[in-house]
Amino acid sequence: MGDTAGVLQTERDFFTALTEGNFAALEQILAEDLTMVALNGSVLDRAALTGAIASGYLKFHEIRCVESVVRFHPPLSLVVGRTEMSGCVGGSPFTASSRYTHVYCEENGRYRLTAAQGTQIVGDSE
C-alpha cells in the first residue's frame, strides 16, 4: 500500500502554494514535465503555470478541498477530488467548483505533480 498521508500532504502543500503565490514551493511540487488541463480547457505546462502565478495574472484567494480519494499504481499515485475555489484571472474575479484528477510520481522520496485535469462543476451535478 502507498503513503496516503504523504500524497495528501503534498496535495495540501500544492493548494497552499497556489493560494500564497509561493513560487519556490511550486517548484518543489511540480514535475519538470507537468501537463495541466485547466477548467477552461487550456493546456498548461510547468512554465506557463508558474509564470501565471509569479506574474500575478492568476491569483487564487481560496482553494478548499472538499473531498479526495487516493489510489496507488506504483510509481504513480492518483488523487481524485473536489474543490471550491475563488480568485482572479487577469484581474477578473472567479469562483468555481471543480472535480479534478492529479497524478503524482514519487521522486527521491517526495511526490511531484506530473499531470492534472480539472473539470468545472456546473449546477447540481456534484
Longest dimension (CA), the chain: 44
Per-residue pLDDT of the chain (126 residues; tens, 9 = 90+): 689 999 999 999 999 999 999 988 999 999 999 999 998 899 999 999 999 998 999 999 999 999 999 999 999 999 999 999 999 999 999 999 999 999 999 988 899 999 999 999 987 655
User: Could you tell me which CATH number the domain at 4-120 has?
Assistant: 3.10.450.50
The beta strand positions in 22-91, using DSSP E, are 30-37, 43-45, 58-73, 76-89
pTM of the model: 0.92
DSSP state of 53: H
List the chain domain ranges. Answer: 4-120
Which pLDDT score is estimated for 23?
Answer: 87
Distance CA 110, CA 29 (A): 8
Can you tell me whether residue 126 is helix, strand or coil?
Answer: coil
